[in-house]
A and B are shown apart, each in its own frame.
Chain A
Amino acid sequence: MLNLKDKMIVLDGAMGTMLQKSGVEIGKVPESLNITNPDVVIDIHKQYVNAGSDIIYANTFSANRYKLSHCEYSVEDLVVAGVKNAKKAVQGTDCKVALSIGPVGEMLEPNGTLTFEEAYDIFKEMIVCGAEAGADLIVFETSTDLLEIKAGILAAKENSDLPIFCTMTFEPNGRTFTGVTIKSAAITLTALGVDAIGINCSLGPDEILPFAKEMSEYTDLPIIVKANAGLPDLNSDEYNITADQFVETLKKYVDFGVSIFGGCCGTTPEYIAKISKYIKNQKVVKRTSNKKSFLCSASKCVEVNRVRVVGERINPTGKKLFKEALINKNIGYILTQALEQEQAGADILDVNVGLPEINEEEMMVEVIKELQGVTSLPLQIDSSNPNVIEKALRIYNGKAIVNSVNGEEAVLNRILPIVKKYGASVVGLTMNEKGIPNTAQERFEIAKTITQKALSYGIAREDIYIDCLTLTASVQQKEVVETLKAIEMVKERLGVKTTLGVSNISFGLPNRSLINTNFLNLAMSKGLDLPIINPNLKAMMDTIDAFNVLYNIDKGSVEYISKHNETKVEKTVVNNNDMTLEYAVINGLKDYARTKTKELLSSGMDAMDIVNNILIKALDIVGNDFETGKIFLPQLIQSATASQGAFDEIKIHLSKDKDSKAISKGKIIMATVKGDVHDIGKNIVKVILENYGYDIIDLGKDVPIEKVVNTAKETNAKLVGLSALMTTTVVNMEETIKALRKEVDCKIFVGGAVLTEDYALKIGADYYAKDAKQSVDIAKIVFE
């Protein structure tokens, strides 16, 4: 019904501006006018239809459940009336009616407390009503959060057959308020399969021009521009560009292929009439198609046009501490692994949380949600379970890569449709029900099957990555070269990208690094794009740096020189012999604390002796200094972190001993209560307690009451710590305590800015902690 390919399309102009001009009292919810003053609304629509709009937006922008919570009308009332008014206005013309959907008005997790599922439901309600009332298409506009708009797109696709337009709002720095870049928006929205994308609001046509140009380079979809009438005057809120000036800028847009135009704040039917007059005489300029391989998060885009490192560390295979972290739901440990890899130079992070003891679906969703709150790197969803993959892709904020499918028909048919639906890329392993073939030729055949199947499901060639599989040189030495040959064949003959887990090659051999770096080099020279490695290993990263110089990718060796010519930062000189572990902890020297602990352990000192007689004593001295005002909070934390270095060494030492249990002075659950998003206080307490040797199960912020209760039941933790910052959320603290008391036998301590000792006891807590130091005192009492 909409010809988007060869036709220039004119949208409408501002509704709010026109409502203000009409003189009607607008009130808190402008959509109420759909019912109280339909004539005014219909008249504005008609003016735009007469001015030449091909599509008008119904007055439904804020008619969502969240924004209408104090309104006398329901979502259905206002959406249906809004669409009907617009339909009346277009009667007898070819003009189409769009259901307009703006942001919910509350931020999504992890910035706010709105969940993805809630956002989905809010949009779904509007979409069902709007489609029922006869809307011809759905427009998401003025969006600043890519994940929120994704919830909307899924709601639209799963509850209607209508075409979808998406426009986002960028600030002068080329990002939305939540940090979404133009590239990431273009790549993600295109991958999700909408019908047109673009930019609206915030800026005028001059300012949006370079942004629209950039967007056009990252999508093949038609591009929408709905600019404001210039920039608003600071005092009067009037916009500074006339209709004629507005139209003058449009030629530049038409030149690079923008084909859908309208106006946002400050524009009127006069603007639309002039836009229409100009645009209708123009032809759609064909754009060159864009066949590049991209992965992205909301804020960072990675083009796979050279070797990109996939960090392999988020994976429990063969890692005792990681397994423990998964079982104890220690998300902080996993996030630290992610951030360390990012610092070390990884471009993409592989995420594998599969362990028989845990619910992989739930864990994957939680880890992805948390990860995308802290890392900007695109993620690789590593699971063979289709449910896990789908759940993860649903809430992923960007364009992810799925690891993996293989050549089995059933696997391909199960997973590829999911990959396509959510616009992801996919890794195909060159194996099938018969296992891994020995020869390059046979692996190539499987790669071909996978590629053809993926293409048949509509997955683009540039989104396919083939893994020719590394075999262990010590066992199948003769087949190593087959892997290398297969990479070359796949690259050349199928035109897809390749990936490879590298380090298995050296299993069972001494000096593994030597084998690994050489194998990596050989594979890269055959065309490996995404090596899956541990980026914390300097030798591997250095190998890639050198490769980039030798293959003329790092032009002029610029990156190589800046990285490898660094003058080494001088460390604080401390005479190693004079220094004790106690000194290292008190002065917050993490590296020395580690070294010293290693020395003590290898000299045969008992781990518990180190903990009780050195670490805890040193921490007590520092804690006392803080309490008496001799040092600042970050100094206390530095000492705690130094002792963490020591604890890490002790944990590694103990984990070598298969029978030993991890060292723990007791389990403590910590949570910032439901409705509360300020968790820095809780995080400080957590760091300090951890470094006194307690195991902390950190449930995060905005934690539902049931989750605290259930975790307390499951883990038998003897102590629960709750934090709340505001008077509005202390109520939830009281509710959480009540619920715990009913079902669990544990002690509870609480903290937060508005709490007092009296109040804490009044709402049923056992202890009130005024700061992190006091939390330690409480823990000592409870666990002794």
Chain B
Amino acid sequence: MIINTKLEELDIKEVLRYMSSSASNGSENVTDNFLKLINDTIKQSLQYIKSLFVYKKFSIKVIDDETISIDNTSVCLKGKDIVNHLRNCDYIYLIAITLGNELDRQIKIKTYIEPEVSVILDSCGSVAVESIADMIEKDIEENAKKEGYNITWRYSPGYGDLPLQAGKDIIDLLDATKKIGLTTTRSFMMTPCKSVTAIIGLSKTEKDKRENKCDYCNNRENCAFRKKGTRC
């Protein structure tokens, strides 16, 4: 499925959260001028942000403790963590989302003339891409329920021991370069930068008990968000 909708708004609290320091306890000194700057920049960001995404269902098989094959393709997902995550799943949804090039370009432009705006735009991008992912997750969950399935939480390449290369595989399987203009570099970083690839599993067993993605995150001991008691 490929849809191109327009985001209408962004949650200002979320936008601020990405820009707070690791010692933040949510009681920063927000002046009126600063609040206006944030609100204006959010409005501006919505002009640059495209919401381009594609997602599709595949059936899977667990081959061994480190390999899951995606049926009717030549692609395997490799790693112990992803196998644990999807062990009870019959299907997965592969998801690719990008906000497009223009936001990247504006973030770069503002670095030179209004660096504070650049940082806020960057934060807006993170919030936007997450909120699109949430929307897709909700849609997948509703469809899954109709068929008697529960969903796992969203898993992205780079979590646990699932290599970043899997991001390129997802893009190729979804034909996302052609459909939404999403590519990777040779070191598997996505371009445009504000993009997400993810996997959601469908299983008949009850919903995954683990609280959140941090349980699998390699960066969990070092994460600035966790130190603040929140998540990225």
Contacts and interface: CB of A to CB of B under 8 A. Distances in A.
Nearest to A638: B116
B108 A728 contact: no
A770 B22 contact: yes
Contacts of A339: 109, 112-113
Tell me if A's interface is mostly helix, strand, loop or mixed. loop
B201 interface: no
Given A629-B24, A754-B218, A634 B37 contact: yes
B119 A106 contact: no
B105 interface: yes
Contact of A177 (B23, B117, B181, B184): B181
Contact of B1 (A112, A234, A754): A234
Contact of B189 (A178, A726, A771): A726
A641 interface: yes
Given A27-B74, A177-B181, A572-B33, A676 B189 contact: yes
Interface stretch (B13-21, B59-67, B87-95, B134-142): B13-21
Contacts of A625: 29
Interface residues of A, number: 68
Interface in B143-166: 158, 164
Contacts of B16: 632
Given A106-B186, A336-B112, A680 B21 contact: no
B3 interface: yes
A677 interface: yes
A373 B164 CA distance: 26
A641 B112 CA distance: 11
Contact of A105 (B21, B104, B183, B219): B183
Contact of B112 (A332, A676, A755): A332
B45 interface: no
A105 B177 contact: yes
Contact of B28 (A110, A632, A727, A728): A632
Interface string B70-102: 000010000000000000000000000000111
Contact of B23 (A106, A112, A628): A628
B5 interface: no
Interface string A356-380: 0000000000000000011100000
B230 interface: no
A636 to B, nearest CB: 8
B200 interface: no
A644 B46 CA distance: 29
A626 interface: yes
A179 interface: yes
B202 interface: no
Contacts of A725: 189
Contacts of A179: 101-102, 105
Contacts of A572: 33
A635 B34 contact: yes
Contacts of B219: 753-754
Contact of A629 (B23, B113, B158): B23
Interface string A614-644: 0000000000011111111111011011000
26 contacts: A105-B183, A107-B183, A107-B191, A113-B186, A144-B181, A177-B181, A335-B112, A628-B21, A628-B23, A629-B25, A632-B21, A633-B21, A634-B19, A634-B116, A634-B119, A637-B115, A675-B189, A676-B187, A677-B191, A680-B111, A683-B111, A726-B189, A754-B219, A756-B222, A770-B22, A771-B21
